[in-house]
Amino acid sequence: MPISTGTSSQSLFEKARQLIPGGVNSPVRAFRSVGGTPFFTESADGPFLHTVDGQKLIDFVCTWGPAIHGHNHPEIRAALRGALENGTSFGTPATGEVEMAERITRTVPSVEKVRLVNSGTEATMSAVRLARGYTGRDKIIKFSGCYHGHVDSLLVSAGSGALTHGSPDSAGIPESFARETIVVPFNDPAALREAFTANPERIAGVILEPYPANVGLILPEPDFLETLRRLCDEHGSLLIFDEVMTGFRISQGGVQEAEKVRPDLTAMGKIIGGGLPVGAFGGKADIMDHLAPEGPVYQAGTLSGNPLAMAAGNTSLSLLEQSPPYSDLERKGKKLREAVLEAASDKGIPLQLPQAGSMFSFYFTENPVRNFQQATSADRDPFKKIFHYALDHGVYLPPSPFETCFISTAHDESILAQACEVLCEAIRSL
């Protein structure tokens, strides 16, 4: 039966906990890392979330990345309305899939062919399977703190919700699966070389977030990505970029365009769905042609290329093509970063605030964070206090110190200034 209007977040959460494990359908939403009861959203528009409790929040989570245009964009809404007139799912090829594939292959430097799926997790899982099938090898190298969805072989030393909840290695994953995954520190070329040397002709591929954004935001050292590309070439292994977060957000072509390093395969999601569930993976044509029905690597999905997701996603990407927002988002990101760091400096609070374009995060530590160990060594308590101060004053940050914040094109100058003031006051309140 429908939930009645006027129901509070507290009562909804109590009911949800009786029906849904932990009361949430994705663990980080439970507020376990920051404490308190999660709010329930009634609606969203532009840079705002509207809660069932009547609170209006400036949103820096942006549905965990997809809402680069803000929430409920009128052109995306109109595209969905038009697509809905034709049906919700076909189970056959449809024009929207071809349009999406054209946009991705035209924009992402390394992608010659692409396969559409339903989530970022499905994209990374399929890319890893394809790498193994293409090379005939079993082992995968990943980096500690990089999160690639809840894929069995990749949920090892992971970030995001797994890290937030203190269990980066999930129960239910056989040791035999985990043994095929080699974990090395990010920004450590020597450890990477050692992993290749210790496993000659056994590494199918290396997967990473080129800008790790599920343990806060970590940026690569100069030449690290180039070294990674070179080592993969030397050892006959595929380089897989997980650009589910950074694709179409750092630039239209993602980190690979910004850093001028081309992977062999790329996993994508979030922005390409315009707020609807979607994922994709793509790369060199000769590698992608190993997928069924052309080749022996099987992958399928009933709702892949769903017409509603394609309508929203194509409109989202079209808006980015018509008026690229990246220089403006970079300016806004720097403005927020400088304001918050100044407030921290005035209070004598050690704070690192890494920022790339519209992405940023908080680390309460003296030194720049370059890897998982340094990220998890930072003081977490100040973030909890800042989170709740901001929430009480109308600004929503990710409910974990190990997540990344996002700015959208809907965060105009006045909204950004208002949010900056709240965040600075939150720092001053420590």
Question: Per-residue pLDDT tens for 42-72?
Answer: 999 999 999 999 999 999 999 999 999 999 9
Q: What is the pLDDT of residue 171?
A: 72
Q: Scanning the structure block, which residue is given the tokens 């690229």?
A: 324
Helix then strand then coil, % of the chain, to nearest 5:
40, 15, 45
Buried b (16+ CB within 10 A) or exposed e, 225-264: bebbbebbeebebbbbbbbbbbbbbbbbbbbbbbbebbbb
What does the radius of gyration of the chain's CA atoms come to, in whole angstroms? 21
Report the first-to-last Cα separation within the chain, whole angstroms: 44
Interatomic CA distance for residues 68 and 271, integer angstroms: 7
Residue 166's pLDDT is 40
Amino acid at 134: Y
Question: pTM of the full predicted structure?
Answer: 0.94
Residues comprising the chain, all counted = 430
CA distances (Å), origin 181, targets 38, 116, 144, 165, 174: 34, 25, 11, 22, 12
Report pLDDT digits (tens) over 106-159.
999 999 999 999 999 999 999 999 999 999 999 999 999 898 887 766 766 555
Picking from 173, 118, 130, 184, the residue whose alpha carbon sits closest to that of residue 151 is 173
- Show Cβ contacts of residue 205 under 8 Å, excluding neighbours closer than 6 positions: 128, 131, 132, 135, 140, 141, 232, 237, 238, 239, 240, 264, 265
**pLDDT, position 164:** 43
Cα(12)–Cα(42) distance, integer angstroms: 12
Contact 311, 83 (CB under 8 A): yes
54-58 long-range CB contacts below 8 Å, 24 or more apart?
Answer: 55/394, 56/394, 57/391, 57/394, 57/395, 57/396, 58/394, 58/395, 58/396, 58/411, 58/415, 58/418, 58/419, 58/422
Positions annotated as catalytic residues are 147, 242, 270
The pLDDT of residue 162 is 47
Which string of b and e fits 149-177 if b means at least 16 CB within 10 Å?
bbbebbbbbbbbbbbbbeebeeeebeeee
Q: Which domains does the chain have, with CATH numbers?
A: 9-60+325-428 (3.90.1150.10), 74-322 (3.40.640.10)
* Tens-level pLDDT at each residue, the chain (430 residues): 456 556 899 999 999 999 999 999 998 899 999 999 999 999 999 999 999 999 999 999 999 999 999 999 999 999 999 999 999 999 999 999 999 999 999 999 999 999 999 999 999 999 999 999 999 999 999 999 898 887 766 766 555 554 444 444 667 777 777 788 899 999 999 999 999 999 999 999 999 999 999 999 999 999 999 999 999 999 999 999 999 999 999 999 999 999 999 999 999 999 999 999 999 999 999 999 999 999 999 999 999 999 999 999 999 999 999 999 999 999 999 999 999 999 999 999 999 999 999 999 999 999 999 999 999 999 999 999 999 999 999 999 999 999 999 999 999 999 999 999 999 999 999 9
Query: Are 203 and 196 a contacting pair, CB within 8 Å?
Result: yes
Paired with 71 in beta bridges are 46
The answer to whether 268 touches 104, Cβ cutoff 8 Å, is: yes
Q: Which helix (H) or strand (E) holds 390?
A: helix 381-392
Pairwise CA distance, residues 44 & 26, whole Å: 19
Q: What integer pLDDT is reported at residue 157 of this predicted model?
A: 57
Q: Is 370 helix (H, G, I), strand (E, B) or coil?
A: coil
- Among residues 404, 338, 371, the alpha carbon closest in space to that of 219 is found at 371
CA distances from 327 to 75, 217, 250, 251, 292 (A): 22, 19, 10, 9, 40
Residue in 96, 95, 84, 50 with CA at minimum distance from that of residue 315: 96
pLDDT digits (tens, 9 = 90+) for 295-311: 999 999 999 999 999 99
CA 380/CA 383 separation, integer angstroms: 6
For strand 395-396 and strand 56-59, is the pairing parallel, antiparallel, or unpaired?
parallel
Q: Specify the residue for token string 């100040």.
A: 382
Burial class of residue 361, CB neighbours in 10 A (0-12, 13-18, 19+) = buried
Which ranges in 289-379 belong to alpha helices (H)?
307-322, 326-347, 372-377
